[in-house]
A and B are shown apart, each in its own frame.
Chain A
Amino acid sequence: MADRYDVVVVGAGPAGSAAALVAARAGLRVLLLERGPFPGAKNMYGGVIYGRILDALLPSWWEEAPIQRWVTRRATMMMTDSQALTIEFRGQAWDRPPYNGATAYRADFDSWLAAKAADAGATLVCATTATGLLRDGSGHVRGVRTDRPDGDVEASVVIACDGVNSFLAKEAGLYDDWSATHFTVGVKEVLALPRDVLEERFNLTGDEGLDIEILGGTQGIPGGGFLYTNLDTIAVGVVLSLTGLRDSGKRPEAIISSLKAHPAIAPLVRGGELKEYSAHTIPEGGMDGIPELSTAGMLVAGDAAHLCLASGIWLEGVNFAIGSGAYAAEAAVDAIRAGDPSARGLAGYRDRLERSFVLANHRKLRGAHKLILGERTQRQYPQLACSIAQQVFTVTDPEPKAGMRRWVHGERKRVGLRLRDLARDGWTGWRTFG
């Protein structure tokens, strides 16, 4: 590790490794710092990696990326305590190149991506925590302080990919609105099952995978559940609003346990032996949580920039990290070549994000997280959907079938949903997702 680089990237998660890869390929001297003993050691997610953004960076990445399974079955399950209604899509096209989504262990995937950056010429240094920023008298970021002896490293541009708690972005004053309301915590159990049992249980062949997103299984705490398949493990967990968890008095792992005990989930996890338990906070504030993305000498990307898309039907993060990291590096390359790593010189980063899926999707889905984490979506809509389904499929002989109009009307009243709210949410949903 030298004491001067063109670019110092802090954090070898997907954002940092993508940034280091792009900057190193442009011929810059790049240092990629990772505080874990290896890339991915600090990371967990919930759990699909969408690889389209990798196509341009690493053509045919699917031939070598250390994935667990290709997701060919995508299900959304709405549940009450004793009911579940699942909508599932199965697409065989997702089981061949260029694929759509994959499950993976982050220790494997993040290490692989970081190695790609190192192959391109970046210097990867693990087991090193960036403890603060080096700044000049005018506040311009000039590098980072690390916890190695003589650990100061100067750089023309620092790209902070130091994760959801980003101490560097906070120190740089980029977050003026840090609020627990913008965050959730994900807790997850990885359960081992023999591969043949897993494939039989989930109707999977070869390297096909299943991802189930669950609404209504979080004991009234705003959030959701998930269950997805790896090669010979399944991951089951919940994502909980931090303020909801705080006010509930409940413990996170107790919410997982109640989900695992649900009649729709218990047979899926039966016999699974706990292999690893994990927890991580998630930036889910959408546009409202995104900080200033750059300052003189510094850019911020990935979870550190709050670039996680949690919009109900679309739950994406790793792809946003890779995209924002790559765009940050492109902007840094331009600024360094122009000899102007000032805030103005780095402004190309924001432009790139705005023009790409990263901020375009966040802007479009701005209202989604409030709609998804609201009381009606969390509690009343799953109740309504499940109870209507139960009415529809319950044979009431000798009573004649009441018919859809009466079932919907009756259940809506029973659940306590006002037409006005239903219409308003429908309109918000249409504007958001339409």
Chain B
Amino acid sequence: MTDHAADHAADYGGTSFEDRMATVEFRVSDRAHITVDTDVCRSCTTKACVHACPAKLFVSTSDGGVLFNYEQCFECGTCYMVCDAEGAITWSYPEGGHGVVLRAS
């Protein structure tokens, strides 16, 4: 997980992004269900995954790549669907019993 210090400032409607994500239960698997080929990302000019992911799992790095985490994933699929580079984001469901657990949605 990268440092989201800058995002602490981006405070939407009184709820910080961390507080927002803290309302959701995640049973984190040891195995990542997302893989990213950063070599492909380096040539990507849009990096739509970075702003489109509702869980903010993707961040741009200074060398033009993309860092990501999989732990707080809603398993929605937005990242790979907005990605226009073939094979940059490989995505599957986490192993059974793991991942997001929604209770009031």
Contact = CB atoms under 8 A, between A and B. Distances in A.
Interface of A: 35-37, 40-45, 105-107, 126-129, 131, 146-148, 164-165, 167, 180, 183, 185, 187-190, 230, 233, 235, 242-243, 245-247, 249-254, 256-257, 260-261, 274-281
Given A245-B48, A260-B13, 14 more contacts: A36-B99, A41-B102, A106-B105, A126-B97, A185-B76, A233-B104, A235-B105, A242-B81, A246-B48, A247-B48, A251-B56, A252-B54, A253-B54, A261-B13
A42 B52 contact: no
B66 interface: no
Contacts of A167: 92-93
Interface in B88-105: 91-97, 99-105
B87 interface: no
10 contacts: A41-B102, A42-B99, A44-B102, A128-B97, A246-B52, A276-B24, A276-B103, A276-B104, A277-B23, A280-B74
A37 B97 CA distance: 5
Interface string B15-28: 10101110110010
A129 B15 CA distance: 34
Interface in B2-48: 12-13, 15, 17, 19-21, 23-24, 27, 46, 48
Q: Which 7 A-B pairs have the closest CB atoms?
A: A127-B97, A279-B54, A44-B105, A257-B12, A257-B13, A246-B82, A278-B105
B93 A281 contact: no
Contacts of B82: 180, 242-243, 245-246
Contact of A279 (B15, B55, B94, B103): B55
A36 to B, nearest CB: 7
The DSSP consensus for interface residues of chain A is mixed
Contacts of B64: none
Nearest to A128: B96
Contacts of B24: 276-278
A185 B105 contact: no
Interface residues of B, number: 38
Contacts of B56: 251
Given A277-B20, A277-B23, A278-B74, A36 B97 contact: yes
B101 A41 contact: yes
B96 A254 contact: no
Contact of B95 (A45, A107, A147): A147
Contact of B105 (A131, A252, A276): A276
B51 A250 contact: yes
A192 B99 CA distance: 24
Contacts of A252: 52, 54
Contacts of A242: 52, 78, 81-82
Contact of B96 (A45, A129, A233): A129
Contacts of B76: 185, 279-281
Given A127-B96, A246-B82, A253-B54, A37 B74 contact: no
B96 A148 contact: yes
Interface string B54-75: 1110000000000000000011
A207 to B, nearest CB: 17
B105 A190 contact: yes
A369 to B, nearest CB: 16
B101 A246 contact: no
Contacts of A183: 77, 81
B97 A107 contact: no
A256 B12 CA distance: 9
Contacts of A131: 92
A88 to B, nearest CB: 25
A185 B51 CA distance: 13
A278 B97 CA distance: 18
B77 A281 contact: yes
A260 B99 CA distance: 28
A252 B82 CA distance: 13
A279 B78 CA distance: 9
A242 B48 CA distance: 10
Contacts of A128: 96-97
B102 A180 contact: no
A180 B77 CA distance: 10
Contacts of B102: 40-44, 106-107, 276, 278
A57 B94 CA distance: 32
Contact of A42 (B19, B21, B75, B81): B75
B23 to A, nearest CB: 5
B12 to A, nearest CB: 4
A354 B54 CA distance: 36
